[in-house]
Amino acid sequence: MSRLSSTIDGWRSFDSFAAEGLISGLDPRTIILSALCTVIAMTGAGKGEVMVLLPLAAFPLTLLVLADIPPMWLVKRILPVLPFALMIGLLNPWLEQGTVTLPGGAEISTGWFTLASITLRALISAATALLLIASVGLLNISRGLAGLRVPALFITQLQMLFRYFFVIGEEFQRMERAWRLRSGSRRGRMPLKLAAQLLQNLFLRSLARAGRIHNAMLARGFSGEVPAGAPLHWRLRDTVWLAGWAGFALLCHSNLPMLLGTLLTGQPQ
């Protein structure tokens, strides 16, 4: 399946989760802000930190459980994100000169901790972003952003993009499929000249489509404002959810595992 086809199918699957689960009862602003708290706490962990990062995986895992999302769905989408972070992280074991003696007596480069930390960061951040959209839904994300005072024109643009990606994407999918069926290429790469020609055609079709959509909008009384939809309501459970995750992120930043571990084992830090 081409990347375009898998994206169109993947996008459809995102919206199928959002309607169900406990998350749908929360204000989208709550989920966006708590995801941001988690990511900021994650990026705030020191270089080479692994233990501080581990508990932060609880946020995406909670979204996964509460939104009833199949774990394999998440794994399939996270894997393509890892190569860039791994490419940057893989050099650290050789570049860093410091060493750490492990409990067994073996001595390893501190770069291995940096690599592990970067990989863990990539996993947590990708899972948080993917599960945020999967559990809340694309249109609810835009409603949440509007509630967070993001400019109305940007929200309208996001909603237009959501709506017309399928129309334009499927049109391009047909063009690409026609090329694929006739080219015999198995590598999925299009010659640059042909890609340019296809995009020229798609662009003209998109312009014509935009003209038709504009006429349809004018016929329905469009005056420059797109209706915002039902207003959002902030409730007590939203406050509890946000305060809980913000507090948790703060505790993780202060090395929560160490605090708990010390409490259980009685070992001073």
Partner 1 sequence: MHMSDALISPEVGLSMLAIAGGALALSCRSCSREIRSGENLSQIPLMGVLGAFVFAAQMINFTIPGTGSSGHIAGALLLAVLLGPAAGFIVIASVLLVQALLFADGGLLAYGANLFNMGFIPCFLVYPFLWRPLISPNSSRQRIVTVSLVTGIIAMTAGAFTITVQTVLSGITTLPFFKFLMVIVPIHILIGVGEGLITASVVLFTFSSEGAELFLGPKSKRTGSRRTVVAFAIAAAVLAGMLSWFASSNPDGLEWSVARVESTEEAGQQPAADLLHQKSAELQQSTSLLPDYQLGTPKSTDSTAAGSAISWRTSAAGLIGSALTLTLVLLLAMVLKMRQKRSAVPLARG
* Region 178-197 residues binding partner 1, contact defined as CB under 8 A: 188-192, 195-197
Binding test (CB under 8 A) with partner 1, winner from 4, 116, 139, 228: 4
Instruction: Check residue 16 for interaction with partner 1 (CB under 8 A).
Output: no
Instruction: Check residue 10 for interaction with partner 1 (CB under 8 A).
Output: yes
54 DSSP assignment: G
Amino acid at 45: A
User: Backbone phi, then psi, for 151, in 5-degree steps?
Assistant: -50, 140
Q: How far apart are CA 147 and CA 156, in angstroms?
A: 13
Instruction: Check residue 239 for interaction with partner 1 (CB under 8 A).
Output: no
Q: Which of residues 148-177 bind partner 1 (CB under 8 A)?
A: 151-154, 156-165, 167-169, 172, 176
Shortest Å distance, C-beta 186 to partner 1: 13
Q: How far apart are CA 269 and CA 266, in angstroms?
A: 9
Q: Which of residues 94-133 bind partner 1 (CB under 8 A)?
A: 95-103, 107, 110-111, 113-114, 117-119, 121-122, 125-130, 132-133
Contact 113, 100 (CB under 8 A): yes
Binding test (CB under 8 A) with partner 1, winner from 73, 209, 228, 246: 209
Residues contacting residue 13 through CB under 8 Å, at least 6 positions apart? 73
Q: Coil, strand, or helix at residue 133?
A: helix
80 DSSP assignment: G
Shortest Å distance, C-beta 175 to partner 1: 10
Shortest Å distance, C-beta 225 to partner 1: 8
Binding test (CB under 8 A) with partner 1, winner from 31, 34, 69, 77: 77
Q: CA 70 from chain center: how many Å?
A: 16
Shortest Å distance, C-beta 260 to partner 1: 4
Shortest Å distance, C-beta 202 to partner 1: 6
Site string for partner 1, 34-63 (x = CB under 8 A): -xx--xx-xxx-xxxxxxx-xx-xx--xx-
Instruction: Check residue 199 for interaction with partner 1 (CB under 8 A).
Output: yes
Place of tokens 């237009």: 160
Residues contacting residue 26 through CB under 8 Å, at least 6 positions apart? 237, 238, 241
Q: Coil, strand, or helix at residue 2?
A: coil
Instruction: Check residue 65 for interaction with partner 1 (CB under 8 A).
Output: yes
Instruction: Check residue 264 for interaction with partner 1 (CB under 8 A).
Output: yes
Going by C-alpha positions, the residue among 146, 141, 137, 133 that lies closest to residue 226 is 146
| Cβ nearer to partner 1, comparing 4 with 228 | 4
Shortest Å distance, C-beta 164 to partner 1: 4
Q: How far apart are CA 78 and CA 7, in angstroms?
A: 14
